[in-house]
Amino acid sequence: MTEHFDLIVLGSGPAGEKGAVRAAYEGKRVALIESNSVLGGTATHSGVPTKSLRETALAIAGLRSRQLTGLTLQYTPELTIQTFMAHQRRVQMAVQSGVGVNLERHGVHRYVGAASFVDPHTISITSHPGELAITGDVILIATGARPVRPPNFPWHHPHVYDATTILTMHRLPPHLTVVGGGVVGCEFACLFAALGIPVTLIHSQEHLFPFVDHEVSHLLREALDAMGIQLVLSDRVVETRIAADGSELAVELRSGVRIITQALLVAVGRMSNTDSLQLERAGVTLGPRGQIPVNKQYQTEVPHIYAAGDVIGSHALASTAMEQGRQAVTHAFGFNYRMHTPDHVPYGIWTIPEISMVGETEETLQANGVPYIVGRAQYQRNARGMVLADPIGLLKLIFSASDLRLLGIHIIGEAACELIGLGMLALETQATAHTLIDLCFNFPSLTDMYKYAAYDALGIFRSQQDPAHGPV
- pLDDT above 70 as % of the chain: 89
What confidence score (pLDDT) does residue 83 get?
65
CA 309 to chain centre: 12
What confidence score (pLDDT) does residue 68 get?
43
- Spell out the domain ranges in the chain: 3-146+271-333, 160-268, 353-465
Interval 139-178: pLDDT, tens:
999 999 999 999 999 999 999 999 989 988 888 899 999 9
Element (H, E) at 160: strand 160-161
73: pLDDT confidence band, cut at 50, 70 and 90?
A: very low
- pLDDT above 90 as % of the chain: 70
DSSP tag of 225: H
Across 244-266, average pLDDT: 94
Instruction: Write the class of the CATH domain 160-268.
Output: alpha beta
- Judged against a pLDDT cut of 80, whether residue 88 lies above it is answered with no
266: pLDDT confidence band, cut at 50, 70 and 90?
A: very high
Q: How far apart (Å, rounded) are the C-alpha atoms in residues 351 and 68?
A: 21
What confidence score (pLDDT) does residue 307 get?
97
Domain 3-146+271-333 matches domain 160-268 at the CATH topology level: yes
Cβ burial of 105 (10 Å; 0-12, 13-18, 19+) is: exposed
Interval 33-67: pLDDT, tens:
998 877 777 765 666 667 777 777 777 665 544 44
72: pLDDT confidence band, cut at 50, 70 and 90?
A: very low
What confidence score (pLDDT) does residue 466 get?
73
Instruction: Write the class of the CATH domain 3-146+271-333.
Output: alpha beta
CATH of domain 353-465: 3.30.390.30
